[in-house]
Amino acid sequence: MGTVIAMKETQTASLDGILVIDKPAGMTSHDVIATLRRKYRQKKFGHTGTLDPDASGVLVILAGKAAKCLQFLPDTDKEYIAELALGSETDTDDASGTVVRTAPVNRDFSLDQELKKFEGPLHQQVPTTSAKKIAGRKLMDYQRKGQEVPAVYTDVTIYDTEVLDEDDLRFRVSCSSGTYIRALCRDLARATGNCGHMKSLRRTRAGGFTLEQAEPLHADCHTVHPIERVLETIPAADSAQVDLSDIRNGRHIRLNTPDDRVLVLDSDGHALAVYDRDHGDVFACARGLW
């Protein structure tokens, strides 16, 4: 659905759609948003999933009207290439943190065999330096104030792993949304009788987009993917059943469908609104995209 266009920095019209940025290491996801706001002179930008400052790779950006879609996006699987460093553990579980423990390096193990042990459902301890909240506070806030950080766990799934370089301890991992790769590196090191941390991380897939589609943040222009691209999982309503004037005015509509949430498109296949079932066959507008 929709088209793909290229937007230039001098473009004055509203930028509505999805940008796939190859985030450089050393920048926060918020820094990327700030850069795009200045570049395209518009405020409405958001992203579909934070990428740590030290990490690089796929960052999916929602611009203009597309930013309204964030609440409807399902958690999507991710893919990363990571590198493990042995000999020291840090308070952030990555290379940017302060070393809290060191130990002699043990290389008497098979990286492939150890990685396979982590595949499947995983009850993962969240890094102490994270935005995960407990009792309304981010874990990193406890750490910054020198307070004991509560142990918090999250249920994730590691779908697949592949060793890319045994000597450099570099590997690919495909996982569910919410997986902390730096925590995986920490736990992988411990499982081999070591202490360790994540040396580097590059996200190669997110939100249905791949690294091949990602463009440099400072490119002269960026490809804009249609809003419909991130709403593909929502069933489309039968356009013959709706009056588009009702949609544009946010009125309730009646639909004969088993789905509780539908996407309403115009005659050109452009997203107009997301509707949720109110009662019976009556649907209420959850978000207008016009």
Active site residues: 52
177's tokens: 């949304």
CB 18 within 8 A of CB 62: yes
**What is the rounded distance in angstroms from the CA atom of residue 167 to the CA atom of residue 86?**
12
Q: What is the DSSP letter of 185?
A: H
Residue owning tokens 């308070």? 91
The residue whose two tokens read 């960052």 is 59
Beta carbons within 10 angstroms of residue 38's beta carbon: 10
| Angstrom distance (rounded) from CA 289 to CA 253 | 16
Residue 92 carries which DSSP code? T
Closest CA to 222 of 60, 10, 59, 20: 20
- Rounded Cα gap, residues 121 and 114, in angstroms: 15
Type of residue found at 140: M
Residues in the chain: 290
CA atoms within 13 A on the CB side of 214: 22
**Alpha-carbon dihedral of residues 199, 52, 216, 214, nearest 10 degrees?**
90
